[in-house]
Amino acid sequence: MDLYERLKREARFMARFRGHRLFPIRRTDTFINKNSGHARGAAKCRNCPAWVQIDIQPEANGVDIGGPAISTHCPTDSKWC
């Protein structure tokens, strides 16, 4: 399993822990040379406007997994109400 797939799995797990149901994580690096090895992905929650993003080569002060779906609970999930 490469780094991109591992980060996708971790992001989905963390979002699910917060009660979010994500759409499939789609690769968003089409504007970058695919041979560069720089991969990014993003997905949105099905129930609220929260999103998650992954980046295998974040900037010096960036994070590899981030977004509101990782840091906040889904407002439509009944177990957190």
Q: What is the pLDDT of residues 22-65, one digit of tens each?
A: 999 988 765 555 555 677 889 999 999 999 999 888 888 889 99
Query: Residue 51, Cβ neighbours under 10 Å: how many?
Result: 18
Q: Where are the domains of the chain?
A: 3-29+39-80
Structure tokens at 31: 């504007």
Cβ neighbours for 48, distance < 8 A, ≥ 6 positions apart: 20, 74, 75, 76
pLDDT at 81 over 50: no
pTM for this model (two decimals): 0.81
Give the amino acid at 61.
Answer: N
